[in-house]
């Protein structure tokens, strides 16, 4: 493995920069580490050199190390350099990098296992390391460049590529289509209608997903069958009494809307631990993941860990899920102490519970929902506010004003049909 590593890094200065970040000191020999450090120093000493020559490098490194190493160490270094010069690779470079990633994680896992034996860690942390190792190995794709390609047409295609439209036109104007990698937080206080909002939007988004890429709705708020019923309501735009009276035909209509797949939206039941969820995601390969609520996912917190540290880990994990599978929409809580004097309130980012952590920083956009504190009429009771205090997404296109990316909207909740309109 060491000679495969040296072969990769010796191709050019760019190759060294490209692959060095995967090579941790504890996964290769002492001699290989000396040679890699020497390569770095060699290119800094001779900045005009871009291609690598083993003969000139060997002379440079031996001269540089002769006062630092013993005679025996110099002999071992010379032998390694000679073998590296004539080495013919046995493995594809992708295999080499994946093995380096595995060896790095293996060392971390062994160290964590020792902590478990000592009582200073637990198996959950070992599981997280093992899961991260699998992810990094599976996700490793060889990059042709260290930097983004200077191809504006390709970049433009990615930015403007078709995504999934929201049901509310206001969100299409502010956020634009939902795409893989997008991580959206939806925050509100209790009894404002977070779950109804999610049902209204997700039941529309799900209709646009490929038939084999379902929605996984991670539910830890209400009884799961009640949540699924609300999703069906939102998809059909029907009152509950109509669906109950004609349940068979309602299910047929729902299945048709979902492209013939009645399981297009899968609502979890009694599953809230990171270990179980990651296994589920790998098996199902969802096109959209919904958390109601993300803050309550288990498996991140140790008994002595602060709440803000736990939340930061959870939201980083959700961001990675969005990059791996597809968009992630997560319901979150608003702080009970945050006060907005306006009525109805357009709630800002500072009201997000845990806003001083990595929580909002991981999101591409934050949507907050509010309602009248003192409604004067039955109509005002049904009015909800939507604010977009954070938005890194491109929005609905050039025809819309930049101000709409952080738009504030009045909408209506229809709890009988589980819709926001």
Residue 152 belongs to a domain:
no
Residue 155 belongs to a domain:
no
| 88 and 231 in a common domain | no
The predicted pLDDT at position 139 comes to 61
Residue 147 belongs to a domain:
no
DSSP 335: P
| 273 and 403 in a common domain | yes
| 191 and 126 in a common domain | no
Residue by residue, DSSP assigns 92-126 as -HHHHHHHHHHHHHHHHHHHHHHHHHHTSS-HHHH
CB 37 within 8 A of CB 9: no
* Strand-by-strand arrangement of the 419-420 sheet: 265-267, 215-219, 288-292, 328-333, 183-188, 365-371, 383-391, 408-414, 419-420
Q: What span, in angstroms and rounded, lies between the C-alpha atoms of 361 and 321?
A: 16
Q: What span, in angstroms and rounded, lies between the C-alpha atoms of 259 and 35?
A: 58
The predicted pLDDT at position 142 comes to 45
| 356 and 256 in a common domain | yes
The predicted pLDDT at position 233 comes to 96
**Placement of tokens 């939102």 in the chain:** 234
| 170 and 132 in a common domain | no
| 11 and 45 in a common domain | yes
Residue 387 belongs to a domain:
yes
End of a domain among 108, 139, 170? 139
CB 359 within 8 A of CB 311: yes
CB 385 within 8 A of CB 347: yes
Q: Which two tokens stand for residue 129?
A: 């390391």
Q: What span, in angstroms and rounded, lies between the C-alpha atoms of 117 and 126?
A: 12
Q: What span, in angstroms and rounded, lies between the C-alpha atoms of 246 and 233?
A: 12
Q: What span, in angstroms and rounded, lies between the C-alpha atoms of 295 and 406?
A: 24
CB 399 within 8 A of CB 165: no
C-alpha neighbours within 13 Å on the C-beta side of residue 297: 27
Q: What are the CA-CA distances from residue 414 to residues 256, 257, 332, 382, 421 (Å)?
A: 23, 20, 21, 7, 8
| 257 and 338 in a common domain | yes
Please tell me the pTM assigned to this model: 0.69
Q: What span, in angstroms and rounded, lies between the C-alpha atoms of 250 and 232?
A: 8
Cβ contacts of residue 149 below 8 Å, gap of 6+?
A: 155
The predicted pLDDT at position 92 comes to 80
| 193 and 54 in a common domain | no
| 214 and 131 in a common domain | no
Counted domains in the chain: 2
CB 180 within 8 A of CB 361: no
Name the nearest CA neighbour of 290 among 236, 404, 214: 214
Name the nearest CA neighbour of 369 among 419, 327, 334: 334
Report the CATH number at residue 173: 3.40.50.300
The predicted pLDDT at position 294 comes to 93
Q: What span, in angstroms and rounded, lies between the C-alpha atoms of 292 and 188?
A: 12
Q: What span, in angstroms and rounded, lies between the C-alpha atoms of 116 and 122?
A: 5
Report the Cα 15 to chain-centroid distance in Å: 28
The predicted pLDDT at position 214 comes to 96
| 244 and 174 in a common domain | yes
| 169 and 222 in a common domain | yes
- The pLDDT averaged over each successive group of 10 residues in the chain (421 residues) is 90 85 89 93 88 91 92 94 89 83 88 88 80 70 53 63 88 92 94 95 96 94 93 96 95 96 94 88 93 89 69 89 93 73 83 70 93 92 94 71 80 95 93
The predicted pLDDT at position 192 comes to 93
Residue 365: φ, ψ to 5°: -150, 150
Residue 340 belongs to a domain:
yes
| 389 and 313 in a common domain | yes
The predicted pLDDT at position 143 comes to 47
Q: Write out the residue range of the structural domain in which residue 204 sits.
A: 162-420
Residue 156 belongs to a domain:
no
Name the nearest CA neighbour of 55 among 86, 34, 32, 30: 86
């Amino acid at each position: 493995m060491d000679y495969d590593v040296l072969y990769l890094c010796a191709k050019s200065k760019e190759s060294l920069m490209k692959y060095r970040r995967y090579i941790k000191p504890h996964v290769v020999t002492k001699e290989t580490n000396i040679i890699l450090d020497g390569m770095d120093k060699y290119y800094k000493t001779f900045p005009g050199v871009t291609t690598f020559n083993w003969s000139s490098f060997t002379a440079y490194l031996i001269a540089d190390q002769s006062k630092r190493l013993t005679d025996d160490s110099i002999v071992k270094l010379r032998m390694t350099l000679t073998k590296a010069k004539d080495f013919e690779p046995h493995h594809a470079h992708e295999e080499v990098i994946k093995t380096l990633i595995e060896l790095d994680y293996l060392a971390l896992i062994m160290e964590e296992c020792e902590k478990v034996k000592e009582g200073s860690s637990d198996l959950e942390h070992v599981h997280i390391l093992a899961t991260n190792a699998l992810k990094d190995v599976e996700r490793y794709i060889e990059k042709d460049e260290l930097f983004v390609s200077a191809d504006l047409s390709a970049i433009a295609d990615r930015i403007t590529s078709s995504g999934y439209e929201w049901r509310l036109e206001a969100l299409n104007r502010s956020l634009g289509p939902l795409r893989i990698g997008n991580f959206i937080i939806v925050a509100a206080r209790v009894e404002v209608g977070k779950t109804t909002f999610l049902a209204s939007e997700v039941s529309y988004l799900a209709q646009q997903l490929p038939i084999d890429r379902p929605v996984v709705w991670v539910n830890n708020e209400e009884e799961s069958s009640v949540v699924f019923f609300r999703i069906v309501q939102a998809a059909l735009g029907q009152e509950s009494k109509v669906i109950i009276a004609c349940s068979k035909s309602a299910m047929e209509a729902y299945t048709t809307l979902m492209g013939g797949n009645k399981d297009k939206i899968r609502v979890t039941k009694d599953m809230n631990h990171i270990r179980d969820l990651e296994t589920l995601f790998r098996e199902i390969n969802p096109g959209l993941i919904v958390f109601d609520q993300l803050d309550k996912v288990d498996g991140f917190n140790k008994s002595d860990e602060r709440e803000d540290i736990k939340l930061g880990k959870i939201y980083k994990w959700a961001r990675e899920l969005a990059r791996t599978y597809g968009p992630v929409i997560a319901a979150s809580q608003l702080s009970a102490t945050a006060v907005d004097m306006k009525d109805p309130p357009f709630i800002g980012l500072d009201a997000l519970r845990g806003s001083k952590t990595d929580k909002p920083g991981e999101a591409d956009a934050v949507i907050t929902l509010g309602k009248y504190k003192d409604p004067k009429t039955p109509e005002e009771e049904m009015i909800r506010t939507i604010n977009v205090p954070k938005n890194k997404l491109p929005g609905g296109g050039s025809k819309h004003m930049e101000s709409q990316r952080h738009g504030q909207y009045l909408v209506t909740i229809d709890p009988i049909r589980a819709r926001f309109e």
